[in-house]
Amino acid sequence: MSRNAESTAFRSALEVIRAVEPRVADAIGAELTDQRESLKLIASENYASPATLLAMGNWFSDKYAEGTVGRRFYAGCQNVDTVEALAAEHARELFGAAHAYVQPHSGIDANLVAFWAVLADRVESPALKKAQVRQVNDLTEADWFALRRELGNQRMLGMSLDAGGHLTHGFRPNISGKMFDQRSYGTDPATGLIDYDRVAEAAREFKPLILVGGYSAYPRKVNFRILREIADSVGATFMVDMAHFAGLVAGKVFTGDFDPVPHAHIVTTTTHKSLRGPRGGMVLCQPELADQVDRGCPMVLGGPLPHVMAAKAVALAEARRPDFADYAQRIVDNAQALADGLLRRGATLVTGGTDNHLVLIDVSGYGLTGRQAEQALLDSGIVTNRNSVPQDPNGAWYTSGIRIGTPALTTRGLGTAEMDQTAELIHTVLTQTTAGANADGTPSKAKYTLDADLADKISRQAADLLAPHPLYPAVDLT
């Protein structure tokens, strides 16, 4: 696509929107400005390509398409079949998966599809067997009671939230923590690393139906071969949530024992983050789980979003290009350079560094909570998110950590030299921020003090760092 074509496409779209609701058009334009001017270091965010963005704004948005390719509950879905089949084909080829289901609307939806697919495949009960053959009208009240008990009383073993796991891996406020009798495995208190012997011990004691691998804030590689061996030893289904590092798998940075696809029975992911696609989810699985996975709609999903599946097909096609592997490697190179820069300046990092796309800073060494640090950095043009650290005394709301990641800045073209400069900006803000106090004089976990002139100076320095790497340079909305 030519530079002129991209500008024309987005400018024209905003003109059409502005004619109906100018405030929405203004907000869209403001978001582009904000993203262009901020150091985006949120590990779960990225920048989708113009082609991916444009694939979502079209007539596919108007279609209902419950069912799967060739088996729809609505007529007139032949074009939806085309884009869904293409997205699934690209996913299978990209990841070397036997089966791909591209309908989930998000990573949480993908995990729910996976959980219910495993439950339906593994749990034996007369009521469930009736439900599987769709004899729903034949289920008695006693059958339903037995079914609820069987499906809601299974065991899951996943990484704890404070050790880097995700809320969908059994965190109590999430539906996963209500569906399952759940137990968590943590990390070694001394190193912050997964202790596989302890995971194996927990699995032998707890005997879960599902062993979950994967993370949202663990800055190291995971050995999925060992976790599969642990799952097999207790007869568990091994599920991996690779939402955060799917781009590193797609780009062949994570291979062998560190690639979950050959080892897991079922793998879930988002399609944004390091994969650089639209916001959405996806499930990859072994053939024996394919039929259950394909029942995701209407099992737990609403109608598929064909316009997002079209964008997934575009983004997955982009990820199959040779330059994506180079991009994935640069993500890791940048993360390691950022970690090294922070360590040299005295920051404390969980596990002492990173093997992947993210870095987790323990900001208690700066005398701050994660919430204070997050807001002070935002004041200074640096967008991050607060995150728990292992055995976090401040809990999941205030936290003691800041999670930062490099997928977005790598997309913009920043390299290792700029990562060192970024580390300097972060360190300066954190050292110059002081914790505040409540009205009664007690220490506050939210209030802080940062000199406004310093925040403005750091914001300008961040903008100077980004200036040689414009975001969407082909898009001019003026």
Kindly write down the DSSP assignment for every residue of 325-394, as one continuous string.
Answer: HHHHHHHHHHHHHHHHHHHHTT--BGGGS-SSSEEEEEGGGGT--HHHHHHHHHHTTEE-EEE--TT-TT
Rounded to an integer, the average pLDDT of 80-108 is 97
The verdict on whether 422 is a catalytic residue reads no
The verdict on whether 271 is a catalytic residue reads no
Of 361, 370, 347, 338, residue with least CA distance to 431: 347
Q: Same domain for 176 and 251?
A: yes
Euclidean distance between CA atoms 447 and 83, whole angstroms? 49
Three-class DSSP category at 212 = strand
What is the CATH number for 410? 3.90.1150.10
Candidates 84, 109, 143, 241; catalytic one: 241
- Boundaries of domain holding 300: 59-319
The answer as to whether 394 is a domain residue is yes
Three-class DSSP category at 454 = helix
Candidates 8, 36, 63, 64; catalytic one: 64
Split at pLDDT 50, 70, 90, the class of 138 is: low
The answer as to whether 21 is a domain residue is no
Euclidean distance between CA atoms 378 and 384, whole angstroms? 7
Q: Same domain for 371 and 270?
A: no
The answer as to whether 27 is a domain residue is no
The helix (run of H) or strand (run of E) holding residue 449 is strand 443-449
Q: Same domain for 300 and 189?
A: yes
Candidates 225, 279, 345, 457; catalytic one: 279
Q: Same domain for 124 and 240?
A: yes
Q: Same domain for 374 and 424?
A: yes
pLDDT at 120: 81
Candidates 52, 168, 268, 270; catalytic one: 270
The answer as to whether 26 is a domain residue is no
Candidates 155, 228, 273, 371; catalytic one: 273
Split at pLDDT 50, 70, 90, the class of 478 is: confident
pLDDT digits (tens, 9 = 90+) for 312-365: 999 999 999 999 999 999 999 999 999 999 999 999 999 999 999 999 999 999
The answer as to whether 256 is a domain residue is yes
The verdict on whether 371 is a catalytic residue reads no
The answer as to whether 9 is a domain residue is no
The verdict on whether 476 is a catalytic residue reads no
Q: Same domain for 345 and 303?
A: no
Q: Same domain for 412 and 367?
A: yes
DSSP 8-state secondary structure symbol assigned to residue 234: T
Rounded to an integer, the average pLDDT of 303-310 is 95
pLDDT digits (tens, 9 = 90+) for 20-56: 999 999 999 999 999 999 999 999 999 999 999 999 9
The answer as to whether 309 is a domain residue is yes
Of 272, 303, 319, at which residue does a domain stop?
319
The answer as to whether 342 is a domain residue is yes
The verdict on whether 279 is a catalytic residue reads yes
Three-class DSSP category at 35 = helix
- End-to-end, the C-alpha distance of the chain in Å comes to 19
Q: Same domain for 200 and 345?
A: no
Of 268, 286, 319, at which residue does a domain stop?
319
Rounded to an integer, the average pLDDT of 138-166 is 77
Q: What angle do CA 229, 233, 238 make, to 5 degrees?
A: 55
The verdict on whether 241 is a catalytic residue reads yes
Q: Give how many domains the chain has, as a whole number.
A: 2
Task: Provide long-range contacts, Cβ within 8 A and 24+ apart, for 366-370.
Answer: 366/430, 366/431, 366/433, 367/434, 367/435, 368/430, 368/433, 368/435, 368/448, 369/394, 369/398, 369/399, 369/400, 369/435, 369/445, 369/446, 370/394, 370/398, 370/399, 370/400, 370/401, 370/402
What is the CATH number for 148? 3.40.640.10
Of 276, 292, 319, at which residue does a domain stop?
319
Q: Same domain for 328 and 294?
A: no
Q: Same domain for 277 and 335?
A: no
Q: Same domain for 235 and 384?
A: no
Tally of CB atoms within 10 A around 173: 10
